[in-house]
A = this chain, B = another copy of it.
Amino acid sequence: MLLSVKNITLLFLIRVYMENDKQTKIKLIECAKKEFIEKGYMKASLRNICKEAGVTTGAMYFFFKDKEELFESVVGGPLISLMNTIRAHFDQETDFIGDVSSITKLDLKEDYVAASDILSVLFQFKEEYLLLMNKAQGSKYEKIVDSLVEQIYEHYLQMYCKMKGYTSKKNITSEDKFIVHWMSHDQIDIFIHLLVHCETEKEAAKQMKNMFNYMVGGWIATIRKDIIK
């Protein structure tokens, strides 16, 4: 009988813990996010974060191994989401020798759909992504933009080859690679630009249409290579 009372107490306490417990951790992450956004990874002060959260630095070190891990706790989750979304859309291997006639705009249109999805993810954790893209200097994420570019580069290279009508990878010149790399970079920059300059996802979606139009124009011109002389 007495034991059962104990158990009830226990269950109750567990529930309380569940709520209580993580509150400090959550508070810490919130305050960290704020500080990181305000000052960037490097200039952010753990002391400040802890003071703001109302705990000692020791408490922070109970939850997080070091500054890096605290930062990771802020941006890690969102980053994984983003990576997964990108992978879902860009990783599917297309036949290298596709039907040359049917492509061009069509493929790019598919890309537009993908981009909309990505945009959606980005605006879900707008602040975290801004942190990642612009304020991560000094952390292990400082090269994250480059690695995102690399993630989509392969996809775009394949698409480029299809459009160009290349039948073998051997046809790819270093000039081809360079321009595709640039276009991949540009794609990522579009996202960052939207993230930085648009308040809402809705607005971003609207502006993205124009940016995509611009990008598609660029792609077509690149394929045709009707270059300025």
Contacts and interface: CB of A to CB of B under 8 A. Distances in A.
Q: Is the contact region of chain A dominated by helix, strand, or loop, or is it mixed?
A: helix
Nearest to A13: B6
Contact of A183 (B179, B214, B219, B220): B214
Nearest to A178: B207
A88 interface: no
A160 to B, nearest CB: 12
Interface string A200-217: 000000110111111111
Nearest to A220: B217
B186 A213 contact: no
Interface in A1-53: 2-10, 12-13, 40, 42-43
Interface stretch (A73-81, A94-102, A151-159, A221-229): A221-229
